[in-house]
Amino acid sequence: MKILINKQLILESGAKKRSESNNVPCNGIKKKMGFSCKQDKDGKVFIATHRARSKSYDSFDKIPMKDITFIDSTG
């Protein structure tokens, strides 16, 4: 649930925050394109741009090429 207080959007504690992910090396992706490789708080990895994010996977080599192509197109 989103709450608006003093023109700031506050997310309930159950929501993921952007600051909970860290940039990591893109191991398993042969050619890094226009996205960042990140790791969430559960230790799973994903790729993201400022507009979109893939699902979380156990490793970068498990991210489908269609997801890589789509995320890259949003950057």
Is 10 inside any structural domain? no
Q: What is the per-residue pLDDT for 19?
A: 46
pTM over 0.75: no
For the cut 70, the answer to whether the pLDDT of residue 71 exceeds it is yes
Sequential DSSP letters for 4-68: EETTEEEE-TTS--GGG-EE---TT-SS--SSEEEE-TTS-EEEE-SS-BPPPBSSGGGS-HHHH
Whole domain around residue 33: which residue ranges?
17-73
H or E stretch at 72:
helix 65-73
Is 38 inside any structural domain? yes
Number of domains in the chain: 1
Is 9 inside any structural domain? no
